Structures are given as C-alpha cells and as structure tokens.
Amino acid sequence: MIHVVATIKLQADTREKFLRILKDNVPRVQAEQGCRAYAPAVDIESGIPVQAALRADVVTIIEAWDSLEDLRVHLKAPHMLSYREKVQGLVKNVSIHVLTPA
C-alpha cells in the first residue's frame, strides 16, 4: 500500500468553488481499482503551538492506494482529466508526497 498527500494551492478566494468541483469527482475516484482512501481536507485552527500557519487557499487530499500502479492509472483516468480541465483556472500549483508505510 502507498499513501499520497496532495497539496493544492489555489487562486485567492476560489476554495469553495474548487471544493464543489472536487467533491463531485470524489465518488468516481473512490470507485477506482486500488483506491482505499481519497478525502479532501482543509486547515483548521487547533490551538496546538507547533501547528503551521493556516492556509486559506490550500486543499490537501489524503489518499491511500493498493499500489503505485493503481495511482498511475488514477492519474490518467478520464474523470481525472475532466476534473483537471474544470479546475484549471482555480489552481496555482499542485505538489504530492508519495509515501510507503515505514
């Protein structure tokens, strides 16, 4: 199994619109072969001193996949290509961390 933490930096004041598009696509991703988890998350204030500064224009997606190959197939899925087109003007950049259990 692998884990993915995807960080999506958005244009200012576009998070709600982005989340509507993303959440519409989530069930299709969760139905993909090898998808164990795919959930968007946003920063909240915790009061924990070591927490990094809140990021109002960032969405993080927490993912788990059976294999790296399943992740690669996911990235090319038709619904992901369509999703990327829909959010193109909303996203500044995307970065991912691909992890394996230690």
pLDDT digits (tens, 9 = 90+) for 27-51: 999 999 999 999 999 999 999 999 9
List pLDDT tens digits, range 4-26.
Answer: 999 999 999 999 999 999 999 99
Which tokens go with 19?
């989340």
Fold of 2-99: Alpha-Beta Plaits (3.30.70)
Angle at 9 between CA 68 and CA 83, to 5 degrees: 60
pTM: 0.94
